[in-house]
């Protein structure tokens, strides 16, 4: 650089420090973004990075990248980065902000991402007044995928999916900022454009303000930026810029749609979470007699019980699994209970995986159960081959179906439903089967089982019936074992 001796130069405008010095996306082109010449994203990235610099928040900023052309924002911004599933940036941003309240979270989204697939997420994040900054880049089309019609496409605008121009049958341009401005919670919503120098300067001010609102803990801020896409609009960068000002602005008027920053209350310091010891009282379960010091009383030291329970929906297979797991928990064991069922409330199939162990449980899945509780024929057919050698099949029927593939396992096949009916209600069949199971497995203390049953079955009449059913099941199993010993 040459200059006359009496003049020295200082840098007035240069690349913001919130950008990486080089971009590692590819081996080549490490100094250039992947955006097309004249793309609005680059301009918006720069004003966002400048605002992060100016506010001194680079170390606590988390940028949520969307799906769209700006998916690669994390290659450029030297801040915390998360890339969200299509449209879900506000949900991800909510999680980040709530788990790290001191962070400054920016959801950066295009119009396809925010106003189409992500319309629910943005609506509810705004309605909850999440203290986020949303940068909504609106170019009225799906650009990354080649120019399909978006919810924001203008009337009459052609796209690959509206080649005749958008008509009423394709719906009308969605005015996201106006929609969100009908909600109570947002504190700041402004629409700006990149149509000329003046508009771009105003856009930079709006972005900075939306970020500053979050730094001050004011609440939900959104800036919608009308942005050119020269490539997909098939224009030169300068023509595209003018189209934003001369055409887009007619459909999407610029201006502040919501400004409650003066009256908004700062909640920069959220309430601390409750103490762990207060949780039972908050959940209303403080009186149910949870033991103060759980201990694995009576359980075998190498206990590792794996059970699969299956039947029709409505037979109570999930409930007996829960009783077993709760009883284990009460006895101080490690437990897991994993239900698996179809959408039907009645008569669909339903099963659950239950594990009880002294040691930590690695996976809640039970591929090879020690005990299979099969409450109907389809279940025993489906699961009998999985039972581990030396294990048990408890089957609700006189005999196992002949074509069942099983070997080296004990079988207790009884008409449990009829037994329960004789006790007073056929619906207690599950508890009879659980009683039989408890007799052979786990060696759980009676008090733990009674306490678990008491917590899960609130109706006193049913509790009495279920206790009788459990006792009946235990007796059944004892007799069956005695018979088997006698025979051998």
Partner 1 sequence: MTTVHHRDAGQLRVDTNECKGCGLCIEACPPKVIRLEESLNPYGYRTATYMGAGCTGCGICFLVCPEPGAITVLRARRPGPAAASGPQVRP
The answer to the question of residue 12 lying near partner 1 (CB under 8 A) is yes
* 9 burial level (CB within 10 Å; 0-12, 13-18, 19+): exposed
The answer to the question of residue 35 lying near partner 1 (CB under 8 A) is yes
CA distances in angstroms from 130 to 218, 236, 285, 451, listed in the order given: 10, 39, 31, 42
The answer to the question of residue 46 lying near partner 1 (CB under 8 A) is yes
CA distances in angstroms from 402 to 391, 395, 408, listed in the order given: 19, 13, 16
- Part in contact with partner 1 (CB under 8 A); list of ranges 199-207, 257-265, 352-360, 414-422: 199-207
Q: Nearer Cβ to partner 1, position 45 or 308?
A: 45
The answer to the question of residue 31 lying near partner 1 (CB under 8 A) is yes
The answer to the question of residue 17 lying near partner 1 (CB under 8 A) is no
* Per-residue binder mask for partner 1 (CB under 8 A), 58-77, x = binder: ------------------x-
The answer to the question of residue 200 lying near partner 1 (CB under 8 A) is yes
Number of other residues whose CB lies within 10 A of the CB of residue 204: 18
The answer to the question of residue 43 lying near partner 1 (CB under 8 A) is yes
The answer to the question of residue 459 lying near partner 1 (CB under 8 A) is no
Q: Nearer Cβ to partner 1, position 35 or 341?
A: 35
Query: Alpha-carbon distance 347 to 14, whole Å?
Result: 68
Beta strands in 281-403 (DSSP E): 304-312, 334-341, 349-357, 371-374, 392-396
Residue 60 CB, nearest approach to partner 1 (Å): 21
Within 8 A by CB and 6+ apart from 180, the residues are: 122, 123, 126, 186, 189, 222, 257, 258
The answer to the question of residue 236 lying near partner 1 (CB under 8 A) is yes
Query: Alpha-carbon distance 60 to 102, whole Å?
Result: 7
Q: Nearer Cβ to partner 1, position 47 or 296?
A: 47
Which among 224, 213, 207, 216 is positioned nearest to 187, based on CA atoms?
A: 213
φ, ψ of residue 35 to 5 degrees: the values are -75, 155
Within 8 A by CB and 6+ apart from 449, the residues are: 323, 327, 438, 470
Residues 75-104 close enough to bind partner 1 by CB under 8 A: 76
Q: Nearer Cβ to partner 1, position 44 or 96?
A: 44
Q: Among 9, 263, 269, 360, which residue interacts with partner 1 (rule: CB under 8 A)?
A: 9
- Part in contact with partner 1 (CB under 8 A); list of ranges 157-165, 167-175, 236-244, 341-349: 236-244
The answer to the question of residue 49 lying near partner 1 (CB under 8 A) is yes
Residue 243 CB, nearest approach to partner 1 (Å): 13
The answer to the question of residue 399 lying near partner 1 (CB under 8 A) is no
Q: Nearer Cβ to partner 1, position 58 or 304?
A: 58
The answer to the question of residue 37 lying near partner 1 (CB under 8 A) is yes
Query: Alpha-carbon distance 133 to 103, whole Å?
Result: 11
The answer to the question of residue 41 lying near partner 1 (CB under 8 A) is yes
Q: Are 136 and 176 in contact (CB under 8 A)?
A: yes
CA 74 to chain centre: 22
The answer to the question of residue 10 lying near partner 1 (CB under 8 A) is yes
What's the length of the chain? Answer: 488
The answer to the question of residue 16 lying near partner 1 (CB under 8 A) is yes
- Part in contact with partner 1 (CB under 8 A); list of ranges 8-16, 343-351, 390-398, 412-420: 8-16
Residue 63 CB, nearest approach to partner 1 (Å): 14
Residue 49 CB, nearest approach to partner 1 (Å): 7
* Per-residue binder mask for partner 1 (CB under 8 A), 168-197, x = binder: -----------------------------x
Q: Are 148 and 161 in contact (CB under 8 A)?
A: yes
Buried b (16+ CB within 10 A) or exposed e, 25-40: eeeeeeeebbbbebbb
Q: Nearer Cβ to partner 1, position 18 or 152?
A: 18
The answer to the question of residue 235 lying near partner 1 (CB under 8 A) is no
The answer to the question of residue 231 lying near partner 1 (CB under 8 A) is no
The answer to the question of residue 14 lying near partner 1 (CB under 8 A) is yes
Sheet holding 221-226, edge to edge: 80-83, 61-65, 104-110, 133-138, 221-226, 188-193, 255-259
- Part in contact with partner 1 (CB under 8 A); list of ranges 67-75, 103-111, 160-168, 237-245: 237-245
Which among 419, 431, 422 is positioned nearest to 464, based on CA atoms?
A: 431
Residue 428 structure tokens: 């207690």
- What is the number of alpha carbons within 13 Å of residue 350 lying toward its C-beta? 19
Handedness of CA 109, 114, 116, 118 (dihedral sign): positive
Q: Nearer Cβ to partner 1, position 12 or 275?
A: 12
The answer to the question of residue 19 lying near partner 1 (CB under 8 A) is yes
Contact set with partner 1 (CB under 8 A): 1-4, 6-16, 19, 29, 31-33, 35-43, 45-47, 49, 76, 197, 200-201, 204, 230, 236-238, 241
């Amino acid at each position: 650089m040459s200059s006359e001796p009496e003049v020295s130069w200082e840098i007035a405008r240069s690349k913001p420090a919130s950008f990486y010095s080089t971009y590692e996306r590819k081996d080549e082109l490490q100094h250039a973004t992947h955006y097309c010449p004249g793309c609005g994203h680059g301009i918006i990235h720069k004003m966002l990075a400048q605002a992060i610099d100016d506010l001194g928040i680079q170390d606590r900023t988390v940028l949520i990248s969307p799906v769209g052309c700006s998916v690669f924002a994390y290659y450029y911004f030297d801040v915390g980065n998360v890339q969200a599933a299509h449209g879900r940036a506000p949900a991800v941003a909510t999680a980040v902000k709530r788990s790290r309240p001191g962070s400054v979270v920016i959801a950066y989204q295009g119009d396809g991402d925010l106003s189409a697939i992500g319309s629910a997420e943005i609506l509810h994040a705004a309605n909850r007044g999440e203290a986020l900054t949303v940068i909504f880049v609106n170019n009225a089309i799906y650009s990354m995928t080649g120019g399909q019609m978006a919810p924001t496409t203008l009337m009459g605008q052609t796209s690959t999916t509206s080649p005749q121009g958008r008509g009423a049958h394709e719906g009308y341009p969605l005015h996201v900022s106006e929609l969100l401005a009908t909600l109570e919670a947002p504190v700041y919503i402004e629409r700006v454009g990149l149509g000329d120098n003046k508009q771009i300067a105003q856009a930079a001010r709006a972005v900075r303000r939306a970020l500053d609102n979050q730094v001050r803990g004011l609440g939900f801020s959104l800036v919608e930026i009308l942005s050119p896409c020269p490539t997909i609009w098939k224009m030169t960068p300068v023509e595209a810029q003018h189209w934003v000002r001369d055409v887009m602005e007619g459909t999407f008027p610029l201006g502040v749609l919501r400004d409650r920053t003066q009256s908004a209350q700062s909640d920069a310091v959220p309430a601390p979470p409750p103490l762990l010891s207060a949780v039972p009282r908050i959940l209303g379960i403080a009186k149910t007699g949870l033991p103060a010091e759980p201990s694995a009383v009576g359980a075998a030291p190498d206990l590792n019980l794996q059970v699969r329970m299956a039947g029709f929906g409505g037979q109570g297979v999930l409930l007996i699994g829960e009783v077993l797991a709760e009883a284990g928990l009460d006895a101080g064991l490690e437990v897991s209970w994993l239900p698996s069922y179809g959408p039907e409330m009645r008569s669909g199939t339903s099963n659950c995986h239950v594990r009880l162990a002294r040691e930590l449980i690695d996976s809640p899945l039970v591929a090879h159960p020690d005990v299979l509780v099969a409450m109907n024929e389809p279940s025993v057919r489906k699961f009998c081959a999985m039972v581990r050698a030396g294990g048990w099949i408890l089957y609700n029927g006189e005999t196992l179906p002949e074509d069942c593939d099983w070997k080296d396992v004990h079988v207790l096949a009884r008409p449990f439903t009829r037994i329960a009916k004789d006790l007073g209600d056929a619906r207690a069949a599950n508890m009879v089967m659980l009683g039989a199971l408890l007799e052979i497995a786990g060696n759980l203390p009676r008090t733990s089982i009674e306490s678990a049953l008491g917590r899960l079955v609130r109706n006193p009449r049913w509790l009495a019936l279920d206790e009788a059913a459990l006792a009946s099941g235990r007796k059944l199993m004892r007799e069956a074992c005695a018979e088997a010993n006698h025979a051998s």
